[in-house]
A and B are shown apart, each in its own frame.
Chain A
Amino acid sequence: MADIILKTKKLTKKYGKSFAVNNVNLELKQGDIYGLVGKNGAGKTTILRMISGLSIPTSGELELFNETSKAGLNNSRARIGCMIETPSFFKYLSAKKNLEYYRLQRGVVEKECVDEVLKMVGLEDAGKKKFKNFSMGMKQRLGLALAVMASPDLLVLDEPTNGIDPAGIIEIRELLLKFNRERNTTIIISSHILSELAQIVNTYGFINNGEFVEQISAKNLEEKCKRYLLIKVDDTSKATVIIENKLDCMEYEVLNRNQIRLYQHIDTPEVVSEILINNGIKLFSIINSGMNLEEYFVDLIGGNKHD
């Protein structure tokens, strides 16, 4: 079993009387790519800020690399690369000089790492450009370069593809996957763009109004969200024989004596109904069902309400 490298127990953050984050329990295993999902203002950034030490929890426990003490957490944070909110750098320094400043500050011995990470994020030609002249996308890339510079064991990323063009999003995604595969880097990433998360994460944590709603593996979520044809017939045992023999489908599930979930032919229900009827099956209904990730999330947090 993989080691747990990040764990929170009843992590809470209050601003005045209102809870930004309330009793959040989450767990990250080494090698995970964990997607923190929630609406704007749900508390995603606050959780990431507490993990990275920018905010001090009001109550609850934070465990990083098996450390819970203040000094231990600080030491553990040297193993983390962060990009929280819009990346900030010294405006009057070039990208390269900014990274050189942080290389010195973090005690990274290899001088060449600055050029390497700039190349990694596609900023090799912008090294001499001053940060104040950077576009939003370039700032995000430089923020990511800083996050990965000290070869972290855990990457904490808050909406890392904000302002990045579609081609850039693909590059960043590939980069994160590469880090995860080649260096076994654990990643916790927040976003409200679920389609983007769906392509990389293996565990989801859903958060709503500061409260943790559900933690689920991508595999289980995929199962829950799988689209299917819900077929209501008079006799499922006869119908399944026809589905197997005439439609050549093996991916189905019998729910009861009258209902079948068919995971194939989702886009051609008319073909399925025609074959079933022609073979003497009484077909009561055939409905295209299931949820996509967005629908699942909306359903989970209780509809389309906005607070």
Chain B
Amino acid sequence: MINYIKAELYKSFNRVSFWAYTAFIVILAVLSNVVILNAHGHMASESINSMFDGFLMETITIPVFLVAGFIDIITSDENKNETLRNIVVFGVARSKIILSKLLATVILAFIAEIIVLVLYVVSTFIIFGVNNELIAIIIRFCQKSLVATPLWIAAIAICTCLAFIIKNNTIFAFVYPGIFILTRTIINLLSVFVSENFKYVENILITKKINEISRGTLTSEIIISSVLMGVIYTVVFAAITILYFEKKEVK
């Protein structure tokens, strides 16, 4: 499994799209700082630090969608090039293939996250200047990101599962974000029109939990529930992917 992960990372680092995708995220992040600076000029009543704080905490939801790019690099890429068979014929157990894909994506996303965060923080200090309040906001953001990490990993597990099931990359590109964007709305509608019990289902949605993390204060209850939810989602979707792939003909 370690060999497979090493190989996946070698392939990804030799791929222009990984660097281009990471650079794209960095550019968006830096641009957001420029926008905040510009907006502050028009809303002088609010301090620039509080604007930055409000924006930064909201971005904790974004990785749920950004992981799709890394899934494309690690997993969907194999569908496009039909290269999975080169791994299967070498006798790598199918369960190991899935777990390796998951781990490789987590590692790759983590590496990209570090690159983006470092460059973003540097750009923040350059644009807004260094002050204690800003440093405290960034530290709080890092803490919240750590708490949200199990949920991001869960998103990777869900996305990997979809990438194995949906071979058509265009459909996959719509289905994955669609699930996260629409599920909450559908459940809300169901709770209004069908039964109020659907509200309990909303509580176990990844996006709802991440919203709680980004908007509220970190309590031990939130930390534990985030870890538990992340682990359960990851295990369930990894198991579904393995069960599906075990019976699959590899083209």
Write the residues of chain A forming the contact surface with B, with a CB cutoff of 8 angstroms.
52-56, 71, 73-78, 80, 82, 84, 88-93, 97, 100-102, 104-107, 146, 150, 156
Contact = CB atoms under 8 A, between A and B. Distances in A.
Contact of A101 (B7, B247, B250): B7
Given A54-B249, A84-B85, A90-B83, A104 B91 contact: no
Q: Which of B10, B17, B86, B250 has the most CB of A within 10 A?
A: B86
A106 B3 contact: yes
Contacts of B6: 104-105
A106 B89 CA distance: 11
Contacts of B249: 54-56
Contacts, number: 77
Given A74-B93, A107-B3, A90 B88 contact: no
Contact of B89 (A52, A75, A89, A107): A52
A62 to B, nearest CB: 13
A56 B247 contact: yes
B223 to A, nearest CB: 37
A146 B86 contact: yes
B81 A91 contact: yes
A73 B11 CA distance: 28
B217 interface: no
B83 A78 contact: no
B198 interface: no
Contacts of B247: 56
B196 interface: no
Contact of B7 (A74, A89, A105): A105
Q: Which of B15, B81, B90 has the most CB of A within 10 A?
A: B90
Given A80-B89, A92-B16, 6 more contacts: A53-B250, A54-B249, A88-B83, A92-B15, A104-B7, A146-B86
B92 A74 contact: yes
Interface string B78-119: 000111011111111100000000000000000000000000
